[in-house]
């Protein structure tokens, strides 16, 4: 049985032994347990990444209801990704990318903490599980037939995660830093919903990674061996070919970095949160709203743009972006609301991202262009 070695390793961990998992590329079938992939192993107290599995982070991450994420990349021997400047890296068949979603624990069983800084439990080679709750791990594997997305839900003991292709809904309570509480219906996407975001070309409908593009991962990471640029680390690990001098690689702004230009921060935020749908060939192409990083300023970016396919999601506002007036801009309205039928992004968000709203509000408030109105 192809998954027997991983099962034996898991049993050793459950009995208190120390076992290093061995990463595997599984070319066919959908393993029922996350441990079958061997990318990480958990004994309920610590989650440890396997040898050769590289963690990475993004300059500006996708907002997912204040969940923290541990992202990893692994490739089998003999293959490497090709560098691409403007797109996601050209990952070879055999690549396995994971993203583990977790929260700091609250006092009650259903409570998780809303934090915007590094979550408790972070380690360079994994996570200390004493004060955090693992929710799900999404696996993106590149097979001969294309990329396949598989969602795994962590068990209560935090020792493994089980494949749940139908998704799941977990009723949590989000506790803010000032003690405020709000319901958090955390939705684990089903396999089709994964494709809803990762199929960024509405014609081909082929899914692909979103985050690991040069501009998003061109940053330092505090690895166990020391801090290093992530693109350089991938190259030195043999996972990336064709990397230019790091000074020549694009770099997206960190949306929380107040020392960076406001426009760069806002565009970076919209790029990672919205552009997988809102790009010239994306699932939201009929809207005519393009929020990708290289979209030129003007109507396609939303400035003085009348809605085409917003339905009832305009909030009674006339333009996508009304320069100088965020309170009259549809874009801000869609970020502010939590109505499932009108909120944006459509998936992965059920609560407001207050820091993101504040950024886009300030960005629009400082615009000086005037929209012409008929009258």
For the chain, what are the domain ranges?
Answer: 4-241, 253-365
Residue partners of 167: CB distance under 8 A and separation at least 6: 151, 187, 188, 189, 190, 191, 193
* Sheet arrangement for strand 46-49: 40-42, 46-49, 126-128, 122-123
Please state whether beta strands 81-82 and 240-241 pair in parallel, antiparallel, or not at all (unpaired).
Answer: parallel
Q: pLDDT tens, position by position, for the chain (375 residues)?
A: 334 444 444 444 444 444 567 999 999 999 999 999 999 999 999 999 999 999 999 999 999 999 999 999 999 999 999 999 999 999 999 999 999 999 999 999 999 999 988 777 888 889 999 999 999 999 999 999 999 999 999 999 999 999 999 999 999 999 999 999 999 999 999 877 776 677 666 676 788 899 999 999 999 999 999 999 999 999 999 999 999 999 999 999 999 999 999 999 999 999 999 998 888 888 878 888 999 999 999 999 999 999 886 567 899 999 999 999 999 999 999 999 998 888 888 778 999 999 999 999 999 999 998 887 654
Determine the Cα–Cα distance for residues 67 and 184; give it in Å rounded to an integer.
Answer: 11
pLDDT score for 127? 95
Q: How many CA atoms lie within 13 A of 31 on its CB side?
A: 26
Write down the pTM of the prediction.
0.92
């Amino acid at each position: 049985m192809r998954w027997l070695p991983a099962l034996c390793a898991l049993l050793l961990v459950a009995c208190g032994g120390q076992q290093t998992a061995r990463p595997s590329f599984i070319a066919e079938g959908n393993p029922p347990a996350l441990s079958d992939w061997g990318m990480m192993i958990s004994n309920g107290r610590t989650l440890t990444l396997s040898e050769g599995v590289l963690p990475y982070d993004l300059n500006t991450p996708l907002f997912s209801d204040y969940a923290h994420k541990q992202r990893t990349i692994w490739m089998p021997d003999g293959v490497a990704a090709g560098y691409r400047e403007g797109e996601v890296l050209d990952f070879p068949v055999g690549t396995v990318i994971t993203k583990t979603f977790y929260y700091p624990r609250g006092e009650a069983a259903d409570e998780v903490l809303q934090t915007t800084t590094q979550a408790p439990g972070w380690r360079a080679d994994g996570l200390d599980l004493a004060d955090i709750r693992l929710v799900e791990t999404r696996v993106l594997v590149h097979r001969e037939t294309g990329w396949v997305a598989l969602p795994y839900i962590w068990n209560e003991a935090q020792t493994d995660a089980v494949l749940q292709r139908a998704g799941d809904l977990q009723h949590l309570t989000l506790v803010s830093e000032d003690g405020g509480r709000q319901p958090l219906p955390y939705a684990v996407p089903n396999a089709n919903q994964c494709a809803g975001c990762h199929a960024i070309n509405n014609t081909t409908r082929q899914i692909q990674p979103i985050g690991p593009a040069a501009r998003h991962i061109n940053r330092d990471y505090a690895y166990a061996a020391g801090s290093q640029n992530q693109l350089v680390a991938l190259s030195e690990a043999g996972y990336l070919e064709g990397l230019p001098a790091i000074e020549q690689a694009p770099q997206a702004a960190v949306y929380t970095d107040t020392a960076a230009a406001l426009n760069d921060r806002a565009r970076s935020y919209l790029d990672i949160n919205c552009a997988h749908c809102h790009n010239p060939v994306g699932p939201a192409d009929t809207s005519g709203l393009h929020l990708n990083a290289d979209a030129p300023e003007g109507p396609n970016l939303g400035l003085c743009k009348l809605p085409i396919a917003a339905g009832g999601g305009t909030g009674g506002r006339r333009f996508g972006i009304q320069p100088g007036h965020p309170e009259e801009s549809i874009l801000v309205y869609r970020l502010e609301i939590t109505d499932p039928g009108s909120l944006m992004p459509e998936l992965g968000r059920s609560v407001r991202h207050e820091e993101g709203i504040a950024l886009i509000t300030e960005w629009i408030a400082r615009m000086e262009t005037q929209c012409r109105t008929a009258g």
